[in-house]
Chains A and B, each alone.
Chain A
Amino acid sequence: MKNINLYKGLFILLTISVVGCKKDLLESTPYGQSTSSTFWRNATDATSASNALYSLLGDENGFPHTEQTWDICSDDQWRAGDHGEDQAIEEFTFDASNSQLGYSWSLKYEVISRANAIIINVPKITMDKALQDRILGEAYFMRGLMYWQFYKIYGQVPLITEVNVIANNYNVPKGTIEEVQNRIETDLKKAGDLLLSTNDAANIGRATKGAAWGYLSKLYLYKEDFAKAIEYGNKVISGPYKLANNFGDNFEPETDNNPEMLFNIQRTQGWTEDNYCSWYYAPRPWDGWGFQEPTDDLVSEFEANDKRLGYSIARVGDMFEGGSGGTTREYTAGLNNTGHFFKKYAKWRADGSGINQDLDVPLLRSADIYLVVAEAKIRSAQSGDAEINTVRSRAGLPPVSGAKMPELIHERRVELAGENDRHADLMRWDKKQIIDIVALYKKDRGQWKRPRTFSRPKHYYFPIPQRQIDLSNGVLKQNPNYQ
């Protein structure tokens, strides 16, 4: 009896242990995701990866906290908003730990990392050559664009390319200014070769040759290589990138993808992330967050009959769509501190249901390139009148002749008001003593633009975020004058 019970017990134990010890019990599967060894199979995968290049652009740290904020340093806008760190940025009293410096650092490197992944993996896929070229072109373009944006802000940054990815070495010292410029140049040139001139309707918003050449010509201008700036600028001017008939077309949801728009951030009601860019610029009581208010100083820069003023900056008394119940409403004095906001970035739906999230965010227009070519010509002792006048006549203004830098500077300020280039332009002109930025910023422009002290050469570039210096454990060195 005893023995039988013992055997019964052991038998039960045995069967259960055999049944229980499933070999694959401890295998876990990634649901809804793949691993890098199972991705990169075909054209669909490659296209999906190329979409990822763009998906971060509209992130709050992809534009509002970065490109959009740096220009509070200029004389065009007052910071407004409620970001405590902005005061120090605007007044040049910041140090390397100012949180504004770090917001978009890793986002830009994430876009670069996605570009690197495409550059490494897509050439190995068997797929339609034209599509493959376009996708590679997009990767080179976005990498070049990210380094261009880095260059404008910090000057020198670590250069991460596919070589680093393969070696798994991300902690590298900064490149020199020349190396950064060379990287941008190489990438944008390759992009120009591989991309299409224009995209079909299903691909509006992807990079084009015009976008690559446009940024390339700006790079050459910043490098003072005027011949090349003119060469690539002319490629844009002679390409299918004509100015829109109406300046305002660039800033309306229905027409913002016209040929003049070389590159923008696509936004669509619903599926995509919310339109932070619009929210930042719109006044608080009108569904926005009320950042970056234009100054009276900028408004007074416009000539008397300049059509562009009406499309760029709101003034007290202007009427806007979007009132409740489908009415229009008046822009009154208390809506913004300075009494203005940048109309280019915020539109409201006519039925009163809020901000129109279909409005895209302009990053580069061919009008900018016309003025780049004009400047390059003027500064290489040629006439830039033709290009300047193309832009002026679109704005309903009489032509100029014999335009020199003052006229060019004026034209850039009013054509590109609020498009976040002013401070970068002023700094590079100051480097060549074309203007005096210290004196310019020391002026007292009233409560919303007090005198500020710009120190050269320290403030030509922002410091690398202190956190990144700390994390690199000594590999990454801080920018000059910020140590």
Chain B
Amino acid sequence: MKSHFRFKRFIAFVVLVAGFQMATAQNTVTGKVIDQSSGAPLPNVSVTVKGSNRGTNSDASGAYKLILQTGDAILLFSSTGYTQSEVVINSRTKVDVSLVLSNTNLSEVVVVGYGSQSKKDVTGAVSSIKGDQLQNVPVSGATQAIQGRVAGVNVVRNGGSPGSAGSIRIRGTGTINNADPLIVIDGIPAGDLNSVNPNDIASVEILKDASASAIYGTRAANGVVIVTTKRGSFEQPLKVGVNTYTGSSQARKTLDVLDASTLVSLKKERYTNDAIDMNPAWTNSSNLVQRTNWQDELFSNGTTNNIDVSLTGGSAKSSFMLSAGSYDEKGIINNSYFKRYSFRINSDHKVGKKLKIGQSLQLTRSNDNSLNTLSAQDGLIWSAVRFMPFIPVKNSDGTWGSSQSEPNQFGDINNPIYTINTIDASNSNSRLLGNLNAEYEILKGLKFKANLGVDGSHGINKNFNIIIADQTRSRSQNSLGRGFGEGYSLLSEYFLSYSKIFKEKHKIDAVAGYTSQTFDGDNFYASKREFPNEDFSQRYLDAGQSLGGIGGNRSYDALQSGFGRLNYDFDKRYLLTVTFRADGSSKFGAGNKWGYFPAFSAGWRISNEKFFNVSFINDLKLTGGWGQLGNQNVGGLQYLALVGSAGNYAFGNTTVGSTAQSRLPNYFISWETAEMTNIGLSAEMFNRSLQVNVNYFDKTTNDMLLSPPTIGTVGRLSIPDKNVGVLNNKGFEIDLSYKNQIGELSYRIGANASFIENKVIKLFDGNYIGSSIYGRQSQEISRTYEGLPLGIFYGWKTNGLYQTQAEINSDPNLTKDPRRTDGLVSPGDVRFIDINGDGQITEADRTNIGSPQAKMFYGFNTDFNYKSFDLSLFFLGSQGVKIFNADRMQGIDPTYPFNMYAEVAKRWNGANTSNTIPRMSTKRNNLNYRTSDMFVEDGSFLRLKNISFGYTLNESITKKLGIGKTRFYVSGQNVLTFTKYSGLDPELGYVDGNKQLNVDYAQYPQARTFTFGLNVSF
């Protein structure tokens, strides 16, 4: 009853007000229109009432006045060169509006550290990627979406398993230690770019040279990637956006392996060639039946599903952006998956006239499992290539196929399908990234900003190993391991920024401040063995009977810095930027904690000079800069002589712990410094339709922290890093972009290319740096030497096979080699080259046989828009790079009890039958399959990385349905790959940090994915 009465009252009130409105039907609204970035008033802006043709224009001072009629709700402000703005009147009489410059590249604003600049004023090397290039790319992390978009930025994919991120390398690999760039997300230098939903990203700025990155000092030696997520705008009506796509993936290719009958006959041939008795296992005729192609069984269709919803809006004083998303990927190997749930809320508020407060908050939770695809003992794909093809996946009685009947002949590998069906390992990670910032305008042009941030993560993992009885690699005891890790990073920054124009010609922008960040980590793990019941409900630590192991630890590190930057612009023609930063790190001992990093760059806008009148060049700018940056991304506590736990032992049945020194100290350990020089030229031509940007850079890392090769007499103590190395990267980058319109077809073409030469200048004492060894043969593949790029392949050179005994007898490479006289070299063996001329093939004949560092990597993309259709293609590639096919090195070797590559059928079995595949043998007399140029292949490739075709529904249809812009699209990832490389995938990534790259361990290959998706906005 009451509510009914209240309602009547309310109606009466409304009518009254409405009546009042009508009485003063001729309502007037006034206001001022300004440019958002410069604050300058905008004349001649068209102000119209939406849905009508009534309007006016703003005057010279940006002011306008418009008479409204009943029902007028929204005003439209438009001006050439600016994005049109829609503003709700909301019964106001004064509506001020700021307009944003639209798609003219040079007028864009780019985010630089602690501020933003107009692109035309930037003197350092900064590249921008707009958020819409990262939209709806079906990848699990933004790192992958960046690949190939920007010159000088290479993303090295470390395999294609779901959730696998990839490493970003800006202008070459700058150090042998951690060469990852600094990632700044919404102002917080945070670790994980891949926790951000790519659809939440508004823009990514990549600071490539010293001058741009110097403001981040210590951590910026490898470049900086600044991510800005989407935010709402003030005076914006509520907008809802929905993005969803679903896709399916397949393996692009499998390796050809021998079928059962060919394999058996080749296995037998080995015994014949060696004149020894054949192992009876090979006489069984059931082994001649081809039963299984293991790679086909291992790879199946994967799926990708994504949905995210976002809400943006804003009033005069507050704006917000809310988004939530779910990404679910199942990989092409069964039982591999990655899921991510993300939630974001960003908001900005104006409090009074001088105070602005902003906040960003991101919560992510991801789950994945990690399959073993890197081991040359039992990696999944490695096993699938080698498991005997006459073994069925499952026997007729339902048990799993196994090599246990003849492990010495049929291989000590487990049935890979059995393995993926019994893996029980999972990781889950929750992440919180949040910041709160405030900006207070003290005086005109002088602002004080404070930024407080937190980056927290929790990781939990679980790994249950079952008892394996019926496979060759058996396990007699089950066990469960649980691990937990937590990390928090707290950031607090305070800085002042000042901006002023003096006497019209002198523009000064300055920023100075203080920042500190702490990194706290905590972890523990526990494991138990002997679980009597392997049921899923019993796989918890409580059910284990005996303790396997337990431990835990904590870590703490901190950074403290002061920084300042000054930008000076004289008459829009001469630009100067000077930066200075002082950083203290907890990683170094007293007296070595602080480092000082200066940088400067200058620019000359040639096109603004009076003498410049080349008609087709709209903008021409020459820039140059130099600076020093630091890198402290190495292990901490290296200045202490640490004593710690040295393992357990048991006396009788009493278990005891032990303690021993674990590390020698380096009291003098300190920063690595990178010194960078950059020269750039950027131009806009032909009515701003063509943009060109060319840069030359030279980056040298000095005092590179290297762990000196430990002489064995020291024992197993960790030797601390010493600042001794020098590494250089130099090269060229080109970015091109062209856009045009022909009738209703508008198109844009972009291309980028980078040419980088990577060279190690100095190592410890002239010695080389080795890397991890490969496989069962324990072979060395990669080394790093002075004067060569990082991680070159180091092995023997070959020259075909010996076809006859006469060739062996007369071979100058073997004149003094005892193996010839001992009868260890036979026709059909590999002819190695005696590099040092001593007449023998020894370790001294090894040399540089190829470099895994690409000489050039590039990308190009085209976008077409025709009426309601859009088509975009994105290619990327790499040129002048070598891959060491270690899997083939082991895969054509007949001395192991495994299946082999199909090409082995063309082996040498008589004079002139082959000059590439050695003879079959069970012996390793000539070590035919050692690390040699036989296995170095050209790794250049060109990939059609993404093709996307979309259709936007007609506005009239969508209006009737009550929804906004609706677009359907189909897209493909990794659709085509052009490469001469014979392995599964030419993008192989790092195996041992930066010391080993592009060695094929049969890593998880990248899949070809097709998706179908829908974007709707309301």
Contacts and interface: CB of A to CB of B under 8 A. Distances in A.
Interface stretch (B87-95, B159-167, B641-649): B641-649
Given A20-B494, A202-B652, A257-B652, A31 B555 contact: yes
B450 interface: yes
A26 B561 CA distance: 11
Residue among B477, B642, B717, B819 with the highest chain A CB neighbour number at 10 A:
B477
A107 interface: yes
B659 A355 contact: no
Interface in B323-358: 354
Interface string B467-510: 00100101111000000000000001010100000000000000
Contacts of B557: 28
Interface string B272-283: 000011000000
B962 interface: no
A33 B643 contact: yes
Contact of A285 (B472, B653, B715, B895): B472
What band does the interface of chain A fall in when counting residues whose beta carbon is under 8 Å from B?
35 or more
B924 A284 contact: no
A214 to B, nearest CB: 19
A172 B778 contact: no
Given A96-B843, A271-B650, A285 B553 contact: no
B582 to A, nearest CB: 12
B586 interface: yes
A479 interface: no
B448 A12 contact: yes
B806 interface: no
B658 A473 contact: no
Contact of A26 (B277, B585, B777, B843): B585
Contacts of B824: 93
B660 A114 contact: yes
A26 B558 contact: yes
B647 A55 contact: yes
A267 B555 CA distance: 33
A205 B650 contact: yes
Nearest to A50: B658
Nearest to B654: A202
Interface stretch (A34-42, A304-312, A365-373, A427-435): A34-42
Contacts of A31: 553-556
Nearest to A80: B408
A52 B646 contact: yes
Nearest to A283: B407
Contact of A83 (B442, B475, B518, B776): B776
Given A31-B554, A113-B717, A85 B442 contact: no
B547 interface: yes
B742 interface: no
B818 to A, nearest CB: 8
Nearest to B893: A84
A266 B658 CA distance: 14
B656 interface: yes
Residue among B446, B494, B648, B822 with the highest chain A CB neighbour number at 10 A:
B648
A210 interface: no
A20 B514 contact: yes
Contact of A82 (B637, B650, B712, B776): B776
A55 B646 contact: yes
A303 interface: no
Contact of A95 (B475, B549, B843): B843
B440 interface: yes
A102 B778 CA distance: 12
Interface stretch (A190-198, A225-233, A463-471): A463-471
Contact of A353 (B448, B476, B514, B585): B476
A269 interface: yes
B661 interface: yes
A206 B659 contact: no
A106 B472 CA distance: 32
Contact of B653 (A21, A110, A268): A268
Contacts of B636: 28
A52 B659 contact: yes
Interface string A350-381: 00011100100000000000000000000000
B494 A16 contact: yes
A6 interface: yes
Nearest to B548: A270
A35 B642 contact: yes
Contact of A30 (B406, B642, B709, B777): B642
A389 B48 CA distance: 118
B558 to A, nearest CB: 5
B916 to A, nearest CB: 22
A287 B643 contact: no
Interface in B650-669: 650-662
Contacts of B472: 284-285
Contact of B658 (A8, A36, A48, A354): A48
A267 B650 contact: yes
A467 B557 CA distance: 36
Given A17-B494, A171-B713, A26 B642 contact: no
A391 B48 CA distance: 113
B767 A471 contact: yes
Nearest to B710: A106
A201 B713 CA distance: 35
Contacts of A8: 442
B283 to A, nearest CB: 14
A269 B646 CA distance: 19
Contacts of B651: 199, 202-206, 266
B546 interface: yes
A172 B549 CA distance: 39
A273 interface: yes
A346 B529 CA distance: 21
A248 interface: no
A289 B407 CA distance: 10
A48 B640 contact: no
B647 A273 contact: yes
A337 B897 CA distance: 13
A112 B711 contact: no
B712 A109 contact: yes
B9 interface: no
B642 A285 contact: no
Contacts of B477: 353-354
A97 interface: yes
Contacts of B560: 21, 25-26
A25 B442 CA distance: 30
Interface in B703-742: 709-717
Contacts of B554: 31-32
A393 interface: no
B383 to A, nearest CB: 14
Interface in B840-854: 842-843
22 contacts: A9-B448, A17-B494, A25-B518, A25-B558, A30-B637, A49-B660, A51-B656, A82-B896, A99-B773, A106-B712, A111-B715, A113-B660, A113-B714, A158-B713, A205-B649, A268-B655, A269-B546, A271-B547, A271-B650, A334-B406, A468-B712, A473-B765
Interface of A: 2, 5-6, 8-9, 12-13, 16-17, 20-21, 25-39, 45, 48-58, 82-85, 87-88, 93, 95-97, 99, 102, 105-107, 109-114, 117, 158, 160, 170-172, 199, 201-206, 257, 266-273, 284-285, 287, 289-290, 324, 334, 337, 353-355, 358, 447, 453, 465-468, 470-473
Given A54-B649, A99-B778, 14 more contacts: A6-B443, A31-B553, A49-B658, A52-B659, A55-B658, A93-B819, A95-B842, A172-B713, A204-B651, A272-B655, A287-B476, A334-B406, A467-B770, A471-B767
Interface of B: 276-277, 354, 404-408, 412, 440, 442-443, 446, 448, 450, 469, 472, 474-477, 492, 494, 496, 514, 516, 518, 529-530, 546-549, 552-560, 584-587, 593, 636-637, 640-662, 709-717, 765-767, 770, 773, 776-779, 819, 822, 824, 842-843, 895-896, 923-925
Q: Which 5 A-B pairs have the closest CB atoms?
A: A354-B476, A110-B715, A51-B658, A84-B777, A52-B658
